[in-house]
Structure 1
């Protein structure tokens, strides 16, 4: 977004003037101890083994579309490559199709770019990447809503879904984010995503299930490779869900497993949460609402915990390609992040998601730099005595188990068996106004541009 230079701004000094005695305490790195975390050591082999039951369903020469979405799944490239290799060994002709609704600015080129940003290229997965925004309508829901399906997938001889199964950021039900969603919304492209979201969040879960069943009834869905990740955002399991188990009990069981493994903040109450980076590769809402404890779908927080008074977020991931949908979950940002935003990509995605998506894309307060943004968040947190400030910093909502915390939280952490100190105390921001480094004597993860 051009024209947002911070040169000559004065809000920072104005805020400092409100609390000339206010000094933000130093922060200390801590990490959550996670013994016995279930982890799949060889996701490639696990994916290929999971596909074995499909051997009789793949005929030689069949063109099979393999889905790839817009999320930053840790082993996405590995699992897609495994699926492509397995299909080719079975005699099929696989190709990858983006399955991400309206993301990438709702253009075929934009979606190819998003996949490339996630490492999914023709070279990395070993087959062509084919993309289109065109759809065919396969039927209608009982209320008349059309069920759109990607035109390339519709022309294929079969479709193999690949996606992570996890709790959704807006609603909870028997089926949330996973195979049914990538089938109904991801492969629905812009038109399909808009149609299903038009009924609002309360009806979205049911619409996804119903639309997925309409597509499955066409007989071309081979099944879905479901990736379940652990609280370290590493693959815990790769399992095949048969077509008749998608949007049904088999997918629900995986969702429950994923929910039990999901990473969350180790504190229920914070004055300030500093998030280094947000983006569509992190969550559909830029920052996972299950981690933040706020959703704003109806203009109010909709989670009981955690309770966070103020949130600052400091940059947009490169893989988002300017899509800052979900930025309104934050209260304050530095001007640098404003420069990273592509309004068209952000608004197309937000409006496709309905009223909730539009509300979450409102612009937070904008300050000169990281230091000013944090200071503003602290000021609005309601904490009178800053020596008692409960502030935590995380890299992104995919990484809630590694934090930097102020002394008030460090004292609490020291009394817990599941948390350990991982470094020495340091200033949250440096002399230039940028967030400091995560490692001792190192700027790795510093957030500096």
Structure 2
């Protein structure tokens, strides 16, 4: 394996709180929100960089115009689909009533505010429905399960986030009869008409999991602006340095990393769980998931996209949380357990027997931390020539054999690079 570093566009916001304030000032919300009126501010569960700083800055702006903001956990069925679980997710992000200086009103209860033209009931968080105004904040990025002009962002927050588990179940069921773009358009129209949405705050991140762009968006501009920001988010998406991979080793997957545990836009399984299609930019024959992130809280949604894992990983799985998430999303395959082995060495030995007529020493193997962090990674020698053709790729050392410990397990990529930095 050869250690390499990829250089991506590192456009970023230097002072996140100041940029939030500057953007919200542009909307002149004081002309719409009267003193003392309540504003429900959404906070999601996707591991957005600097989410506590961003949320606090939203709150401070609303207070500065004499509004009465409160926070609403807006994360569908995440956190096991419970109030306690969702508050726990926010707490891990540093979002608490004490740190934000405002109440957090958490409930899994929704109200049905209307039905779409297709007859789909539109669910909306009860506390948010009782507010005078709603401010929707979310990251714009490519969705892991469908392709469209609108994927994951402000619209999805209005549907799945504020729809809570009841809304998420409803809309994922509706996909069987309607396309997701149709559902997004229809439900968002209802929410914008019925639910007093006063503004959106769109966040786009760079390939280093950093805030690259923050933009306040007026409700009337949600559709057009989100389409444009999604194109930018695609350009900034991190990528593997080669297009054909025999075995991808992922140190950790998790809901805080991607909706499917591993970003299908990165691993090439957006349209089909077990293989790439001609529409994917990358093809991974086999995937080995060797850990769950701490922020996943045992939710192993997405492990079913891998062919291999270890007994240690299976022992970390919270079956209830995983089951709730997969059923809510209508994607039971995402929670299915891959082939299980006792050690990483056993997994790799087995995986390399399933990649066709490629001999192990010819295999294109890549080991990454997770699909959010692709700047530093390990690639096998057969990947090197193609990888060299990638813009900004730096080879950091000589090829060396995989390093297994006494139990037959690999070190994490992050720990290897940390050792290298320390000399």
TM range (shorter): over 0.9
Residue in structure 2 matched with residue 418 of structure 1 by the alignment: 392
Task: Give yes or no for contact 1:30–1:405 (8 Å, CA) kept in 2.
Answer: yes
Cα 1:193/1:414, change in 2 over 3 Å: closer
Residue in structure 2 matched with residue 88 of structure 1 by the alignment: 63
Establish whether residue 239 from structure 1 lines up as the match of residue 212 from structure 2. Answer: no
Instruction: Give structure 1 stretches of 5+ with no counterpart.
Output: 1-26
Aligned match of 2:20 in 43, 47, 52?
A: 47
Residue in structure 2 matched with residue 176 of structure 1 by the alignment: 151
Cα 1:293/1:256, change in 2 over 3 Å: same
Residue in structure 2 matched with residue 17 of structure 1 by the alignment: none
Residue deviations 1:91-137, cap 9 Å, x none? 12211111111111111111111222233222333322221000000
Residue in structure 1 matched with residue 192 of structure 2 by the alignment: 216
RMSD: 2.1
Residue deviations 1:121-173, cap 9 Å, x none? 22333322221000000101122110000001001111111100011111111
Residue in structure 1 matched with residue 350 of structure 2 by the alignment: 376
Establish whether residue 155 from structure 1 lines up as the match of residue 141 from structure 2. Answer: no
Matches within 5 A, 1:16-415: 27-34=1-8, 37-52=10-25, 53=27, 54-200=29-175, 203-218=179-194, 220-246=196-222, 248-295=223-270, 301-302=276-277, 303-354=279-330, 357-414=331-388
Residue deviations 1:21-80, cap 9 Å, x none? xxxxxx22101123x532111111111111112232222112211111110111211111
Task: Give yes or no for contact 1:185–1:208 (8 Å, CA) kept in 2.
Answer: no
Task: Give yes or no for contact 1:297–1:360 (8 Å, CA) kept in 2.
Answer: no
Cα 1:437/1:180, change in 2 over 3 Å: closer
In structure 1, C-alpha distance between the alignment counterparts of 2:366 and 2:416, rounded to whole Å = 20
Cα 1:443/1:382, change in 2 over 3 Å: farther
Task: Give yes or no for contact 2:377–2:413 (8 Å, CA) kept in 1.
Answer: no
The alignment's TM-score, normalised by the length of structure 1, stands at 0.87
Shift of 1:422: 2.8
Shift of 1:395: 0.4
Residue deviations 1:282-320, cap 9 Å, x none? 011111100010136577644433111100011111211
Cα 1:368/1:143, change in 2 over 3 Å: same
In structure 1, C-alpha distance between the alignment counterparts of 2:38 and 2:348, rounded to whole Å = 52
Equivalent position SS for 1:380: coil
Shift of 1:275: 0.3
Task: Give yes or no for contact 1:438–1:444 (8 Å, CA) kept in 2.
Answer: no
Residue deviations 1:345-385, cap 9 Å, x none? 1111111111xx11222111011022222332222222532
In structure 2, C-alpha distance between the alignment counterparts of 1:320 and 1:156, rounded to whole Å = 30
Aligned length: 415
Residue in structure 1 matched with residue 408 of structure 2 by the alignment: 433
Residue in structure 2 matched with residue 9 of structure 1 by the alignment: none
In structure 2, C-alpha distance between the alignment counterparts of 1:95 and 1:400, rounded to whole Å = 36
In structure 2, C-alpha distance between the alignment counterparts of 1:215 and 1:304, rounded to whole Å = 33
In structure 1, C-alpha distance between the alignment counterparts of 2:369 and 2:83, rounded to whole Å = 30
Of 199-208 and 47-56, more deviation after overlay is shown by: 199-208
In structure 1, C-alpha distance between the alignment counterparts of 2:245 and 2:275, rounded to whole Å = 18
In structure 1, C-alpha distance between the alignment counterparts of 2:317 and 2:389, rounded to whole Å = 42
In structure 1, C-alpha distance between the alignment counterparts of 2:119 and 2:242, rounded to whole Å = 45
In structure 2, C-alpha distance between the alignment counterparts of 1:376 and 1:123, rounded to whole Å = 50
Instruction: Give structure 2 stretches of 5+ with no counterpart.
Output: none
Shift of 1:430: 2.4
In structure 1, C-alpha distance between the alignment counterparts of 2:319 and 2:299, rounded to whole Å = 7
Shift of 1:437: 4.8
